[in-house]
């Protein structure tokens, strides 16, 4: 008898709990006022992969190269700098060729300073052999700067020189 009374009390309690949930009216979400704000149309900017043109005054970024910092032997890499021969698109490509420090590189960043002071920048994260970072140069002479950031967080400026636009002999 005691067990049936306890069982009956339990069933009544569960029925009450279930009934409470079923008798509540459905809640409607609160209405939020809608405010219309007119925004100006977006400005369309040219988009190119890994190249970000930044216009700055010539006196902030000069064409005068500055000292560089050599990588330690275990972190050294090899690279080459190529110039596109087309005067309409004078792209400067920095190509990572390898080296003992290739696996230690977190980022390679390239900056080109044109004679008019315009700066273009590009970068690549965790570059591998053959990775190319392209920046837009000028059809004359550009200052090219290459930075390497190691996985330890240390940053080295490994190249800072003026690179001439190569012309083909006639």
Q: What is the pLDDT of residues 23-72, one digit of tens each?
A: 555 555 555 555 555 545 554 444 334 444 444 333 456 778 888 888 88
Domain range 52-164, CATH class:
mainly beta
pLDDT at position 169 over 80: no
Which residue has 């079923």 as its token pair?
Answer: 22
Burial of 75 (0-12, 13-18, 19+ CB in 10 A): buried
**Whether the predicted pLDDT of 128 surpasses 50:** yes
pLDDT at 5: 67
Q: Calculate the dihedral angle through the C-alpha atoms of 87, 57, 124, 103, rounding to the nearest 10 degrees.
A: 110
> Distance (Å, rounded) from C-alpha 146 to C-alpha 132?
12
Provide the residue ranges of all domains of the chain, joining segments of one domain with +.
52-164
pLDDT of residue 121: 95
Q: How far apart are CA 70 and CA 112, in angstroms?
A: 20
Say what the pTM is. 0.62
DSSP letters spanning 89-155: S-EEEEEEEE-TTGGGEEEEEEEEE-TTS-EEEEEEES--TT-EEEEE--SSEEEEEEEEEETTS-E
């Amino acid at each position: 008898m005691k067990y049936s009374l306890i069982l009956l009390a339990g069933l009544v309690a569960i029925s009450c709990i279930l009934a409470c949930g079923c008798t509540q009216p459905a809640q409607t979400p609160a209405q939020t006022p809608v405010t219309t704000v007119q925004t100006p149309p977006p400005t369309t900017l040219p988009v190119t992969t890994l190249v970000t043109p930044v216009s700055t005054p010539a006196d902030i970024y000069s064409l005068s190269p500055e000292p560089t910092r050599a990588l330690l032997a275990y972190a050294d890499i090899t690279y080459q700098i190529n110039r596109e021969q087309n005067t309409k698109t004078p792209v400067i490509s920095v190509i990572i060729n390898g080296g003992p420090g290739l696996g230690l590189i977190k980022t390679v960043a390239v900056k080109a300073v044109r004679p008019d002071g315009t700066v273009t920048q590009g970068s690549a994260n965790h570059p591998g052999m053959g990775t190319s970072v392209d920046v837009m140069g000028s059809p004359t002479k550009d200052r090219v700067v290459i930075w390497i950031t190691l996985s330890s967080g240390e940053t080295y400026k490994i190249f800072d020189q003026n690179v001439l636009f190569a012309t083909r002999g006639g």
